[in-house]
Amino acid sequence: MEAAAELALRLRAAANGRLAGQEPLLLVAAPLLALLAARAVHAAAAHVADRGLRAVLITLAMAALKLVPGVGGYIAAQKSKVVEQLQSGSASSKKNLRTELPAIGDPDGVIGELQALKDKDVRWQGKCSGTVYIAGSESEGHFSLINKAYSMFSHTNPLHQDVFKSVAQLEAEVVAMTAALLGSKEKASGGQICGNMTSGGTESILLAVKTSRDYMQSKKGITKPEMIIAESAHSAYDKAAQYFNIKVRRVPVNKEFLADVKGFKRCINGNTIMMVGSAPGFPHGLIDPIEELGELASEYGICLHVDLCLGGFVLPFARKLGYPVPPFDFSVKGVTSISTDVHKYGLAPKGTSTVLYRNHEIRKHQFVAVTEWTGGLYVSPTMAGSRPGGLIAGAWAAMMSLGLNGYLESTGQIMEVSKKIQKGIDDISGLFVIGKPDMTVVAFGSDAVDIFEVNDIMSSKGWHLNALQRPNSLHICVTLQHTAIYEEFLKDLEDSVNTVKANPGPISGGMAPIYGAAGKMPDRGTVKELLVEFMDSSC
């Protein structure tokens, strides 16, 4: 012991001797500078780990390139040209916009002017991927019923529950009926499924992410939250991450284009608050392995959100009709929240969705309560304060008027047409279906032609399909609008493929060059800037 103490004194004396001639300020500053340098290196390493070395180097190279005189201006000019092409003539509709109130109102002319504007919209009947899910004309049948329900409650607002008790009841019943479709009656659900209506799938997703963040902070003390998503997960999760300061860990899909469970497991750490599974995913209509993700969530004690925005009002009925549907709802252990849109296959008015939670303990973290406002005590369940009671009434009317029999009938029709479209695409030389669609979204690519050139030809025939990337492909989201017109779709698609085969190359005014270039462009920051500038000039 004495020898050790003596050695320590000798080392101390030697160190003091070496440092005796140094500047005191330098001695104080050196450790601080070393700490700052270490933090900078750590941040750089984390940045490279998240984005990849190639992406970081490309970003740095582009930033340096823009510093060269003239280069920045050239890039800006080229971006403006691309944005103008993306506008595709929509800028003309902004030329004569009103910028102030009329001096004298014209109640007699308002409806006529609205009709004139509406008549300029493109033909959407049967020719749009998704978009309009209800069959028939908007002036009759189911359309007419939900419009009438909306008009009856267009003045109501569930924020004022003491006044509009009817709307509060309608929302509670929509939520309960939706929950029953998604496993609330199953013993495995725990019997506490609860939720709220929202303005759409994106708000439902935002609320589920915010709620999971706050729930996991209270449960585990996580202050630097991270969530794990497949690269096929909806972009609303990226929006939620930006809004709520959550780090996204994006996992490539496996060879079947499904969420890679092993990849998810590798990303779990002490800051993970949640994982996301889709049923189905928007791009390819494929159901992620929800059961396996549920096991993983249970093992690590984290949240699992299931995105059922597309599938919530199809999969329960498809299962009843005998289609092979893997587990996807609250009957799966580990699922903590679900989002599902009533305004898609629920055939309700646009602007209606639900977010559901396994129990009230989780959902309580969705709410915002304010106690110190001079305006009084305030509490709100969703992102919006005031909400349109008319939309809630329209959703309730849709569900009550259709009933189990109506949804079974509509699901049977769209599932049958989806299978016919899938087979028809498989039969077109040069095209292939991506994955094995579980539902009503059919994605397809080509190994013989530029699929985006095919899309341009289809657009010239009045079709509005969704362009996808990684791989370059298109998809059609089948609705009741397509049941009477799917044969025309397949004929036009085959003709378009043959046209591109005979005359390869972009058509005048087509979007294929932009889609193709965007997919190949290594600098994703420039692509992001293009999207932002396009949006800034469009709204």
**pLDDT beyond 60 at 241:** yes
pLDDT at 42 (0 to 100): 66
How would DSSP label each residue in 384-449? -SS--HHHHHHHHHHHHHHHHHHHHHHHHHHHHHHHHHHHHHHTSTTEEE-S--SSSEEEEEESSS
| Residue 369: Cβ-neighbour burial (10 angstroms; 0-12, 13-18, 19+) | exposed
* Residue pair 227/248 in contact by the 8 Å Cβ criterion: yes
Closest listed residue to residue 274, CA positions, set 291, 292, 254, 298:
298
Binned at pLDDT 50, 70 and 90, residue 537 comes out as confident
**pLDDT beyond 60 at 71:** no
Neighbours of 301 (CB within 10 A): 11
How much is the pTM? 0.86
Q: Which has the minimum average pLDDT: 10-19, 408-417, 457-466?
A: 10-19
**pLDDT beyond 80 at 524:** no
Q: Give me the phi and psi of 353, to 5 degrees please.
A: -145, 170
Q: For the chain, how big is the Rg over CA atoms in Å?
A: 28
What is the C-alpha separation between 385 and 394, in angstroms, rounded? 19
Closest listed residue to residue 397, CA positions, set 173, 244, 73, 200:
173
Structure confidence by residue, pLDDT tens digits, 281-292? 999 999 999 999
pLDDT at 125 (0 to 100): 83
**pLDDT beyond 80 at 12:** no
Q: What are the start-end ranges of the H helices in 138-289?
A: 141-152, 165-181, 201-220, 236-244, 261-267
What is the C-alpha separation between 469 and 477, in angstroms, rounded? 16
pLDDT at 516 (0 to 100): 63
What is the C-alpha separation between 177 and 197, in angstroms, rounded? 12
* Residue pair 202/348 in contact by the 8 Å Cβ criterion: no
Structure tokens at 399: 């569900």
* Residue pair 143/402 in contact by the 8 Å Cβ criterion: no
Pairing of strands 353-357, 337-341: antiparallel
* Segment 319-328 mean pLDDT: 96
CA 76 to chain centre: 29
pLDDT at 505 (0 to 100): 86
**pLDDT beyond 80 at 495:** yes
Structure tokens at 531: 């999207």
What is the C-alpha separation between 364 and 211, in angstroms, rounded? 8
pLDDT at 136 (0 to 100): 85
Binned at pLDDT 50, 70 and 90, residue 148 comes out as very high
409 CB-side CA count, 13 A? 8
What is the C-alpha separation between 335 and 290, in angstroms, rounded? 8
Structure confidence by residue, pLDDT tens digits, 84-138? 666 665 555 567 788 899 999 999 999 999 999 988 888 888 899 999 999 988 8
pLDDT at 337 (0 to 100): 98
Percentage of the residues of the chain whose pLDDT score is greater than 90: 71
Neighbours of 465 (CB within 10 A): 23
Length of the chain: 539
Q: Which helix (H) or strand (E) holds 198?
A: strand 194-198
Structure confidence by residue, pLDDT tens digits, 263-316? 999 999 999 999 999 999 999 999 999 999 999 999 999 999 999 999 999 999
pLDDT at 32 (0 to 100): 78
**pLDDT beyond 70 at 523:** no
Binned at pLDDT 50, 70 and 90, residue 19 comes out as low
Q: What share of the chain is helix, strand, coil (3-state, %, to 5)?
A: 50, 10, 40
Structure confidence by residue, pLDDT tens digits, 178-217? 999 999 999 999 999 999 999 999 999 999 999 999 999 9
Q: Which has the minimum average pLDDT: 61-75, 108-122, 377-391, 417-431?
A: 61-75
What's the chain's average pLDDT? 89
